[in-house]
Structure 1
Amino acid sequence: MDLNTITAVAHPQTRAQLPAWTPGDAWLAGGTWLFSEPQVHLTRLVDLTDLKWPALTITESHLGIAATCTISQLDALTCPTDWLAAPLISQCCRAFLASFKIWKTATVGGNLCMSLPAGPMISLTAALDGVCTIWKAGGGEQRIPIVEFVTGNQRNRLSPGDLLRQIDIPLAALKRRSAFRQISLAPVGRSAALLIGSLDSAGALKLTVTASTVRPIPLSFPKPPDANALRSAIAEAITDDLYHTDIHGKPLWRKHMTLRLAEEIRVELLGATPP
């Protein structure tokens, strides 16, 4: 869709060249949502592609994902054999309600900044203890865990002019055993519940609930819980007002599926027999 109110496009190549933020500005990375509907309030786009951030970097401590990394680039990452949670990357990429054409353009950062409950990059990075780096509009940086970055349906911690720079995932999180569950009302529909569980070498279990809730809900257990303890923990952490509602699923159904999928994950990770 043409954005016929745009009168200027900036192409900064460094942070120093980023223009001062003014009303009517918008960051442009993939643009798959930006160009999908009218944006009559916008007058200038700030194109991030000329910043040429490396899409993916692996250090001794973490996997760095640039905000401009496309879904296709992330899915193509060749992971070390000791990253037991590596299948989550492909699973979450395929949880997108998007074609391969969108994969080549849509970005990880864009998915996070849209902050939709069904955003699969939110699910992935929240479950793997991701921490985002934000370039503040007034200068400096801020680091925020993904589980705190998204605060509600299409709400997050960004202030006007703030820019999501990257997401860091600790290698320790990628080395945990994982389990993935996702469900939609339609075979290729938007996620109505997407849960990820992981188990570390010490036996600590982590469960992250997304899509069924308006924001990511993390639950941690020093020791694996039994079925009743898991249900009780979910009921305590997720009050009824936190379950999302739209045409892709009503709150009561999302709650039921959250409890069901959580138990499936617990059973899978513990190698137990379902009750």
Structure 2
Amino acid sequence: MDLNTVLEVCDARDFTGWRTGDAYVGGGTYLFSEPQPHLNRLIDLSRLGWTPIRWLPNGNLEIAGTCTVAELFEFTDHPLFEQCCHAFLASWKIWHMATVGGNLCNGLPAGPLISLTAALDGEILLRSPVGVLRWVSVHEFITGAGKKVLRPGEVLRSVTIPAEALNRRTAFRQASLYGLGRSGALIIGTRDRAGELEITVTAATTRPIRVRFRNWPNAAELRTAIDSAVRPGEWFDDIHGLPEWRRHMALLLAEEIRRELA
């Protein structure tokens, strides 16, 4: 879609100051999907030259905000990365344009890279227009449907996955109202070497919900923990699923995961 209110496109390498009406553009798959009448300048991140994805000396995995879905998928054979990338149900073009940073900064409940990085304890590095850096966990970054703690002018520089999280056993479940539909519930379970279980609920809720168990829970304990963690109004409600159905599927899939990882 043409953005006919945009008067200027600025290279991020030459960008000096943030102003009202600005927006960063990475892949642009969301930005150009619907009217953006409040925008009049785009700051293009594509020429910053950030390494898309790399291993750090301490074994952690750093994913740049400009890393595309295709680059993420091709980098590792970790099953959870493959499952979350396929949860996009997107075209070849989207896979090669949509970015990790864009998916996180949109903050949509069905964002599968939110699901991936939240389940693996991702830490986001944000950079202000004047170079001030701050770290925030994925769980703290997303506060509601489309809501995040991103401050004006901040750009998502990277998200880092700790080595320990990458070594956990994982289980993945997804449900949609129809075959190629947007996720109505996306649940990920992880089990570490000490046997602790962690369940992350996304898509069904307005923000990532995590419950953790040091001692292995039974079905009733898991159900109670999830219901207690989701506050009133946090079961998402839109055309892709009613809150009651989303809750039902989240609890059902979480129980499947508990049994798989037991």
**What TM-score does the superposition give when structure 1 sets the normalisation length?**
0.93
- For residue 63 of structure 2, the aligned residue among 62, 65, 79 is 65
Shift of 1:136: 2.2
**Structure 1 gaps, min length 5:** 80-85, 271-275
Offset at residue 39 of structure 1 (A): 1.4
Match of 1:164 among 137, 141, 156: 156
Q: Tell me the number of residue pairs that the alignment of Structure 1 and Structure 2 aligns.
A: 261
Query: What residue identity is the alignment partner of 2:144?
Result: G
Supply the AA of the counterpart residue of 2:256: E
* Offset, 1:138: 4.6
**1:29 lines up with 2:21 in the alignment:** no
> Which one of the candidate residues 131, 141, 161 is aligned to 2:133?
141
- Kindly report structure 1 stretches of 4+ aligned residues shifted beyond 4 Å: none
Tell me which moved more, 30-39 or 167-176.
Answer: 30-39
Cα deviation code 1:171-206 (max 9, x no counterpart): 110100000000000001000000000101111111
Aligned to 2:246, the other structure's residue is in SS state helix
Paired residues for 1:149-160 under 5 Å? 149-160=141-152
Tell me if the contact between 1:240 and 1:251 (Cα under 8 Å) persists in the aligned partners. Answer: no
Q: Deviations along 1:189-248, whole A, 9 cap, x unmatched?
A: 000000000101111111100000000001111121111111111111113411000010
8 Å contact kept, 2:16–2:129:
no
Secondary structure in structure 2 of the residue aligned to 1:232: helix
Confirm whether residue 90 of structure 1 aligns to residue 88 of structure 2. no
Q: Of the candidates 209, 212, 222, which is equivalent to residue 204 of structure 2?
A: 212
| 1:12 partnered with 2:33 | no
- Measure the CA separation in 1 of the matches of 2:67 and 2:103: 11
Distance apart, 1:69 and its partner CA: 0.3
Q: Which amino acid aligns with 1:6?
A: V
Decide which moves more: 27-36 or 129-138: 129-138
1:149-169 Cα distance to aligned partner (Å, 9 max, x none): 000000001011111110000
Within 2, Cα distance between the matches of 1:196 and 1:78?
Answer: 18
Matched to 2:7, the amino acid is T
Q: What is the RMSD computed on CA atoms of the aligned residues?
A: 1.1
Aligned-residue identity in percent: 52
CA distance in structure 1 between the aligned counterparts of 2:243 and 2:12, rounded to whole angstroms = 43
> Which residue of the partner structure matches residue 106 of structure 1?
98
Amino acid at match of 2:51: P
Q: Is residue 233 of structure 1 aligned with residue 230 of structure 2?
A: no
| Residue 118 of structure 2 corresponds to residue 126 of structure 1 | yes
Look up the SS of the partner of 1:219 in the other structure: strand
Partners of 1:206 and 1:263 in 2: CA distance: 12
Kept in 1, the 8 Å contact 2:123–2:159? The answer is yes
Partner of 2:38: 41
The alpha-carbon deviation at position 262 of structure 1 amounts to 0.5
Aligned to 1:273: none
Task: Provide TM-score, normalisation by structure 2.
Answer: 0.97
Conserved in 2, the CA contact under 8 Å of 1:8 and 1:45? yes
Corresponding residue SS for 1:241: coil
- Tell me which amino acid in the other structure corresponds to 1:75: F
SS of match in other structure, 2:180: coil
In the TM superposition, what whole-angstrom CA distance separates every residue of 1:117-162 from its partner, at most 9, and x where no partner exists?
Answer: 0000000000000000000245411100001100000000101111
Q: Match of 2:47, SS?
A: helix
Deviates more, 1:70-79 or 1:198-207: 70-79
